[in-house]
Each structure stands twice: as C-alpha cells, then as structure tokens.
Structure 1
C-alpha cells in the first residue's frame, strides 16, 4: 500500500476514543481527517460494542444468548443476524479444531466458577456439565440464517466469550469504514484490528503482552495493517483452589480448565472474530496438537510455551518469517 503524502498526514489528527464494555474497555486510536465528526463516531463505536454485549452476554438476563440457552429443545428461537453470524463461525471453528474450540461450554464455565452462577468450583455441577456436554455442537444446534432463527436438538448452554469480543472489534472496524476513517487501530482487551496503516503510511505497532501474572509488560511488538490479532493465555483470568491455579478457558474434551504448556498464543487473521476463536482453540489444543493444527491450516501464529527454564517461542507463517515487512517481532524486547 503506498504511503500517504506528508501533506495528507499533516491534515490528520491522532485521536483516541474509548469507553467501558463487557467488563473491560474498548478503544480506538484514529488518524482523523477534518471531515470526521468525532462525537458522533464515538457514539456509534460505543453503540456497536454495546449491541454485541446486549446480544451475546451470558450475564445479561435478556440477551439473545440467554434467551437461546433458556429456550426449550426443538423450539425455533428468532435471533439477530449478528449472533447468527457469530454462531455460524463458532460452529465452523469447532469443527475444524476437532472440538478444541467449543461454543457449548457454558455449563462447564458456570460449574467451575467462571460464569454468572457461582464463584468457586462445584463438584456436582462439574459432573453434570461433563455428562451433558455434546462432543460436537454440529447436529445439536441448527441454524437457519435465511429465516433468522436457531433451535437446539438437545439441552445446551452456549458460551460465546471466546469469540464475541473479536466480533465486537470487527463491528467497530465497520463503523470506522462507515465514517470514512481509513487509518485506525481498534481494541477490546487482547483483541485488536488495524484499519489501514497510520496516516504516515507506517503500520500500527502493537505490543504482545508477556504472560506474567499480576503485571503488564510488553514481550514483543508486531506491526499491523488491515489485519486483526488476538491473544489467549492462562495468566489473566484464573481461580486459585488450594495450591492450584485454574485458567478460565475450558477444554470441552476433558471437561476442565485448560492445563497445558501454552502460556499464550497469538493469531493473525483478516477478521478479529476468526483470530479470537482460533487463539482460544489453539490454547486449548496445546503445544503439539495446536502447532500441528496451525501448520496444517497455514495460520499465522505465535506460541509462548512454558518450560522449567522459562519460555520458548514458536512462530508459524508471518511470525516465522522475519523478512516479511508486514509483520515483525521485536526480539530486542525479549532479550532485555
């Protein structure tokens, strides 16, 4: 992509918009031209993420997701096009990842103390959730996008926390395009998407967090231009039970929180919804299966693996090719 002229760059002003949502904050760094109405843009960005939260939150009692979870088996439930799009993607990633990503772990999330029901694990609830969880959501959940409705064929408790934030970032990117913004970086937690480069023509620099509990430090830096990135790890949300630390991400195959050598996994994709879902899937799949899966699918991923002597880095795709100017990992940050 050709760089913007210095004159055009001067006409742009760097602005940062932000606000609360989904228990965290959204933000948008924008190189805005004079025609962009910033108050209206901020309002539209906030509305976009709030709509996703209202539709897909497992904590809001009137969300589309909660309505679907409470609906009787075999009853068609009318849903918005947005949640249908996310459900379709979730089912596809579930299939392609052989169940490492599973959208029906809601009962497990609650049973282990990470949901809206309880704050500590409950052994009886865990056993019940394991017994009721289908190995594959395909065949158990039927989508009719043309008619705009969904039905369950068995009792299911769907959880979209591993994909909804990424989708919300995509919705923010859509809003920016609608406002004519060509240079921006939008973020929600560990999910980000670049709309074009910066006004100067330089890609956006994004820091990847070091997987350390209790502090936020930059491990390395990547460059984004018209790409999305998402990171999943075991170091932010967790429960401490005795001497054990339980990560919040569920492995549907074991019926328990993920427990493997992956400290974090970062995925690049064209949409943040895809990056978010696959970062979750590869974290659950683990170092061997996850790396094989990512390599087989030609994905751009960066694993940080825990070992007794520290962290080991494994990069595939753009992360494995330091000569690619579209992506660079700043190794100087790692060797401090």
Structure 2
C-alpha cells in the first residue's frame, strides 16, 4: 500500500555554516529518527567549510594559497571537484567567473581582514591572468599546483556546492523530497508530497529590507542569486558590490541589481549567477541563452526595477504572485 502525504512527517532541520545557516525541509515516515540526518548534514557542510574557507587559516584551500608556485599540493577530492568546476566555468564565461580573485576580495575587506588601501592598489594594478591559466589540477593523484602567484577564493561557488552536499546526504537517507539551502542558494529534490513543485520566492534587491519579488516553482533543480544589495563597501558615497570584476581587480562598478540562475546543481547555479553578474545584462543574457541557462536579471532603472528573463522557466513564472512563497533565494 502506498503512502499518502498525510502519512509523512514534516522535518525542518538547520545549523550553522560558512557564517550563515543551512536548512533542510523534508518529509519522512513518522518512525524516522531525524537525529542521525541532522548530524550527517552538519558534518557535510563542516567538511566543505574546513576544505574551502578563506576565513580558516588551516583550510585545505588556504594551504594551497600559501604554497609557492610550482609546488604540488595534495588536496581532498571534494576541493579538487570544486576547483575543476570553477576553472571550467571560468573558461566557458570568458574569464568572467574567476576563482583567482582572492587577493582582490581580501584587499577590499570582503575576507577576514579589513580593507587595506595598499593591497587595493596592488590588486587593481596587478597584471592578471585568469585562474584557468595559472592553476593545474591532477585529478588522478588529487593534487594541484600554481603557475605563478595566485590567491584562490571560492565564495562564488562553495555555498552552492555545500547545498549539493546537503542534497546528497538527504538522498542517502532514502528521502527523495526535500528543499535544501545555505543562505540564498537552494536545491529542490523531487516535489512536495502532494506532487506540487517547491515554491521559491526570488528576492527583491532592496538594501534595507527583505521582500519577495516573484515566485518560482522548482522541482529537481537548483537556484542561486548573486546581487549587489547584501554585501558592499562604501567608497566616496558610492556602494560597491562584493562581486569582483576580474578585468579591474576590484568591485563591479555598474552591475545588475541581481542575477538569479536555475541549473541542475547548486554549484553550477551559484557560479553562473556570479559570472552573469560580472558580464552584465546584455552580454550575460546572450551567454546564458547560449549555455541553455534559465536566468533572471534585475536592473535598476532610476527608482524602477526592470526584469530581463532568459529561458522559458523565468519567462513563464517570474511574474507570478509571491503570496504563497515558502523560501527565498537571496544574494550570497
């Protein structure tokens, strides 16, 4: 006899990670013990943080950053996987997504230390080559080496990968319907017990308030948003986004208010949202269409907000009512 949605118990789990919170909403039989799942989910995101954080001097990533050029550095398989994806999207985006911007991220105060004018000058005047030209991965022997100075930052992809790990762990417990999130990066497994998609609210890009703009129905897919309205620095009365422009070694000067991307994995959605922010609406929308991505660009036009949907998903759903939204995709 098959189970109905009334036979299932709703579980809402969460915990700390990467300076924010992870969450997992799922449904399980009434006899299911959530304690082992909670512990496994926490262990999964702790592992990602311990390997990929730039805030932890003992992380595997910081060990790679500290190594001299030319030296092979043994690395965990999961970190190699994320580095490989970052380099791949770097190539596919023409360098718009560049994991080698760690020096600029730190210089402008978006890392553990405060902004430093001397380091900012060094970052904006550096002769840059993209990370895919300076980092070599040996995926067979699980090691990497740098060809020249390189400081890697994975803040544009690691949270998305963390969400994918939450999804993997949830599935390993035999649960096929879930909504997993870290901050504003989300992944939907299956559909809700009644067969309907998971309702996700795309956030309005407001500096001072959190409100939904439109509704997205998500099923067996992931969504991530990059924006200019949550993390910024104030320079000369001007807000500068935390997203770095690889062409200038500093924050984007005139980015979209936000870009939301739907992709098969949250790691891909996270990285592509950053890449499209860097490219801007016109070039970004063209590349998103060429890559077969569903994307939503939000552009500030004076006091108004202009939306530019790419792909059928946002074209059909971005303007839906937000009244029943149950989760929010917000900037990382």
Aligned-pair CA distance for 1:296: 1.8
Q: 2:280 aligns with which of 282, 286, 290?
A: 286
Q: Distance in 2 between matches of 1:45 and 1:225?
A: 21
RMSD value, Cα: 1.6
**How many Å apart are 1:242 and its aligned residue?**
3.2
Instruction: Write the distance in 1 (CA, Å) between the matches of 2:138 and 2:125.
Output: 28
What is the deviation of 1:261?
A: 4.5
1:13 pairs with 2:2? no
Instruction: Report the Cα distance in structure 1 between the residues aligned to 2:31 and 2:90, rounded to whole angstroms.
Output: 43
Matched with 1:325 is: none
Distance 1:74 1:276, change over 3 A: same
Q: 1:105 to 1:314 in 2, by over 3 A?
A: same
Map Cα deviations across residues 229-286 of structure 1 (whole Å, 9 max, x no partner): 0000000011123311111111111211012240011000000000000000001111
Deviations 1:97-145 (A, max 9, x none): 1111100100001111111232x3x332122223446332223100001
1:190 paired with 2:179, answer no
Stretches of structure 2 that go unaligned for 5 or more consecutive residues are 324-332
Indicate conservation of the 8 Å contact 1:206/1:221, yes or no.
yes
Alignment-derived partner of residue 276 in structure 1: 270
Partner of 2:326: none
Hey, what does 2:63 align to over in structure 1?
67
2:318 counterpart of 1:329:
yes
Moved more, 295-304 or 88-97: 295-304
Q: Deviations over 1:268-324 (max 9, x none)?
A: 0000000000000001111111111112222100111111241111111133542xx
TM-score, length basis structure 2: 0.93
Is residue 2:82 matched to residue 1:86? yes
Deviations 1:41-99 (A, max 9, x none): 00000110111000000010100010000001111000000000000000011111111
Query: 2:98–2:246: 8 Å Cα contact kept in structure 1?
Result: yes
- 1:116 paired with 2:112, answer yes
Q: TM-score, normalised by structure 1?
A: 0.92
* Contact in 2 for aligned 1:220/1:329 (Cα 8 Å): yes
Q: Residue 145 of structure 1: which of 139, 149, 165 is its match?
A: 139
Give the 5 Å matches for 1:25-174: 25-34=21-30, 36-118=32-114, 120=115, 122-132=116-126, 134-174=128-168
User: Any conservation in 2 of the 1:191–1:231 contact (CA below 8 Å)?
Assistant: yes
Q: Distance in 2 between matches of 1:81 and 1:132?
A: 31
2:133 aligned counterpart, secondary structure: coil
Q: Distance in 1 between matches of 2:150 and 2:259?
A: 28
| Separation (CA, whole Å) in 2 of partners of 1:333 and 1:36 | 32
Tell me, which stretches of 5 or more residues in structure 1 are unaligned?
323-327
| 2:257 alignment partner, SS class | strand
